[in-house]
Structure 1
Amino acid sequence: MTVMLGRALWRLLGPGPSALSVPGSRAAGAALGRPGASLVQTVQNYASLSKKTREFPSQLDDLSPSMLKMDYKDLELMNKTNDVVRRLLSLEMATRKEKLKLKTSQLVEKVRRSPSDVGSTEVQIAILTAKIRNYQEHLQVHRKDRTHKRYMLMAIDRRKKLLKYLRRTRYDVFENVCSQLGIQYTFPPEYYRKVTQRWAAKKALCIRVFQEVQKLRAAERQKQKAAAAEKAQPVSKEVNEGTAV
């Protein structure tokens, strides 16, 4: 490990005094401009500077820590409790799951039709929106979590279907839901897959086979109509002869 660190420093700093090859020596620290620092500390400090800490915005940032949890915010007894109990039951001591539950209820309150509405199209869209944003925040930190990525894509597909239905049936409600929840609706692409030469040839063959089958069925129907007409002619002749007698 020490040899690898020495080689890394040799490539970065170039040739220098022989003291660089001796880890932990004061001469190594003096050669690097840091008297008294060891070679290992210098390499560790250099590696720590290369780390990039990124903070991603979250949908839970607008929730105040003094807000009560979902199960206790509507209780009248909470107005009579002391500050210690109120702090224990607030979002300051809550888990992420409890915060997400409160955030979902806030989104539902924006678009629900009535206080007793729990399953309308607008409510389902609000619940899926909270889930999708939670999955996006998780994947920004854990980029290789394929399970959560699959759940997010399934939720996005479900929300697209509900938005498409709501746009077709009640356009004014659709615009209100998009504006309240901050959703930007985009139309689906005309083709969902890349058009290749093989796929185009296969599609042309399928269309040709379909047309040939339709022609055969039309010819079969014509034969059946002709046979039915031939059977009906003798019956009509017998009826005419009976009336003439």
Structure 2
Amino acid sequence: MMMMMSGGSTPREAPQTGQGDRRLSLAEPLPAQGRSALHAYSELPGSSAQDGGAQALNEGRKMLLALLRGGGAALRVGSRLGLDVAAASMSPLLQTARDYARPVRKKKQGIPSHLDDLPPTMLKKDYANLPVVDKLDDVVRRMLSLEMASQKEKVKIKREQLADKVRSTPNDTGSFEVQVAHLTARIRTLREHLHIHPKDKSNKRCMLMTIDRRRMLLKNLRNSRYDVFENTCKQLGIEYDPPPQYRRRATKRWIAKKALCIRVFQEAQKLKAPERLRQRQEWQQRALAAKEQALQNEGTPV
């Protein structure tokens, strides 16, 4: 009832403008880009702004603000002023004025790529060993070089370069150290991709799976050939941290469960002990009987 008596509307708070809010008003002076757009709209055919004066300036300012905001306000103001809003919205000056009202986005700083050390004059992998390459023209040679190559072809060359550092023989293509080199090139490529596209969950999952596989190969190489493991980490620039002996946090519940499992295992072994002893005695008797039978067969004449 009180709302109806007071006019039927409730008071609203003024919207809070943040740091990036760049809304324009009629009282605010237009920037240089906005003034150029206003001048362009005043010269459109059918506009009352050609007559000059304060009224024309206010009408042009209203038109510019409405077009900047977009929506139904632009259509209403344009129809009142007799302007073609669809044609005016395609103007490059309007796009410049709209860019003024948008907040500036900071560009991400790029990280150094592991492909930067590849010279652009190097030939691609498929054409590097051809004897005809020396007789080609400079333009064709440039087209076959890494300057015109894609990132996929550059990664292939980088994989071979890393594998050449650790392989023991020229024909070695599947040893642990060569697999580690190939996985290292893939991990570095995915890491650069995720730095630019951090929301790419699929490639992030692939990178984590590749890291786990490389860790497993390094662990096997460390347990079998430690000298090759040290050389591989040194040549590829890998910092290997050995995993802890127990990864799980030791809680009271986990300790009690482990003690119960050990006790159950010991009781099961005690129950199986008589049966295993009987089987062992039977095996010994069979072996002794077979040995006596062999001695008797050797002593009997043919």
Q: State the TM-score, normalized to the length of structure 2.
A: 0.60
Question: Is the Cα contact below 8 Å between 1:139 and 1:149 reproduced in 2?
Answer: yes
Q: Give the counterpart of 1:178 among 233, 244, 262.
A: 233
Q: In structure 2, what residue type is equivalent to 1:103?
A: K
Aligned residues: 209
Question: Is the Cα contact below 8 Å between 2:33 and 2:97 reproduced in 1?
Answer: no
CA change 1:42–1:199 in 2 (3 A) is farther
**C-alpha distance after superposition, 1:85-109 (max 9, x if no partner):** 0111111111111010011111111
- Other-structure match for 2:123: 68
Q: CA deviation at 1:166?
A: 2.0
- Other-structure match for 1:158: 213
Give unpaired runs (5+ residues) of structure 2.
Answer: 1-13, 35-63, 69-95, 283-302
- Other-structure match for 2:160: 105
Q: Give the counterpart of 1:137 among 149, 168, 192.
A: 192
SS at match of 1:79: helix
Q: State the TM-score, normalized to the length of structure 1.
A: 0.72
In structure 2, how many angstroms separate the alpha carbons of the residues matched to 1:13 and 1:79?
Answer: 58
Question: Is the Cα contact below 8 Å between 2:162 and 2:236 reproduced in 1?
Answer: yes
Q: In structure 1, what residue type is equivalent to 2:107?
A: K
Question: Is the Cα contact below 8 Å between 1:29 and 1:36 reproduced in 2?
Answer: no
CA change 1:70–1:48 in 2 (3 A) is farther
Larger Rg: 2
Q: In structure 1, what residue type is equivalent to 2:133?
A: M
In structure 2, how many angstroms separate the alpha carbons of the residues matched to 1:136 and 1:71?
Answer: 27
SS at match of 2:29: helix
Question: Is the Cα contact below 8 Å between 1:110 and 1:180 reproduced in 2?
Answer: yes
Q: CA deviation at 1:211?
A: 2.1
In structure 1, how many angstroms separate the alpha carbons of the residues matched to 2:117 and 2:270?
Answer: 65
Q: Give the counterpart of 2:137 among 82, 87, 90.
A: 82
In structure 1, how many angstroms separate the alpha carbons of the residues matched to 2:160 and 2:276?
Answer: 61
Pair 1:28 & 2:35 matched = no
Give unpaired runs (5+ residues) of structure 1.
Answer: 1-5, 229-245
Q: Percent identity?
A: 54
Matches within 5 A, 1:1-245: 7=15, 10-12=17-19, 20-22=24-26, 27-30=27-30, 34=31, 37=34, 40=68, 44-45=99-100, 47-218=102-273, 224=278
In structure 1, how many angstroms separate the alpha carbons of the residues matched to 2:153 and 2:20?
Answer: 52
SS at match of 1:54: coil
In structure 2, how many angstroms separate the alpha carbons of the residues matched to 1:151 and 1:131?
Answer: 10
> Which 4+ stretches in 1 moved above 6 angstroms?
none
**C-alpha distance after superposition, 1:46-69 (max 9, x if no partner):** 644342322122111111111111
- Other-structure match for 1:232: none
In structure 2, how many angstroms separate the alpha carbons of the residues matched to 1:11 and 1:52?
Answer: 21
Q: What's the C-alpha RMSD, in Å, of the aligned pairs?
A: 3.1
